[in-house]
Amino acid sequence: MDHQQYQKIRVLILLLVATIVATAIIVNNLYLAFAGVLIGMLFLLVAKQKFKQAIVDERVISIAGRASQVTYVVVTTLLACLGLFFTLSAKTHNSPYLESIGVVFCYVALLLVTIYSLSYHYFNKKYGADE
């Protein structure tokens, strides 16, 4: 199986799953939707096993890493700035709702920084750092 065939089969499976899920929604049957998604996942797994060529290689991983880094920087900065803006706005407008939103944004930004630090530490150790 070559790459083009694999792509065609993937599209066919996705169309099949979409049809089953749409039908399940129309007839209001939750089990049918779950069964459709499960069958689709199974077919995709089988197709992936039949497809011998590398789908993910070092270049794709490198691109994904850079894209993740950009996403992390953009999202964390945006959340931190929004959190600061809402918290300071709440002080001037005397609004507890704005302050709550600001605090939530700040905590989400902190959570992202924590996850990044932990994963960085983990991969740093995995790839040979002695510290």
Note whether 55 binds other proteins by CB under 8 A.
yes
In one letter, which amino acid is 8?
A: K
Note whether 60 binds other proteins by CB under 8 A.
yes
Q: How many CA atoms lie within 13 A of 110 on its CB side?
A: 8
Q: Give whichever of 48 and 121 is closer to other proteins, judged by the CB atom.
A: 48
Q: Give whichever of 62 and 77 is closer to other proteins, judged by the CB atom.
A: 62
Note whether 59 binds other proteins by CB under 8 A.
yes
Note whether 58 binds other proteins by CB under 8 A.
yes
Supply 7's token pair: 């792509």
Taking the complex as a whole, how short is the minimal distance between the CB of residue 60 and other proteins, in angstroms?
A: 7
Q: Give whichever of 3 and 91 is closer to other proteins, judged by the CB atom.
A: 3
Give whole-number Cα distances, 32 to 46, 58, 109, 128, in Å. 21, 39, 39, 48
Count CB atoms within 10 A of the CB of residue 79: 20
Note whether 49 binds other proteins by CB under 8 A.
no
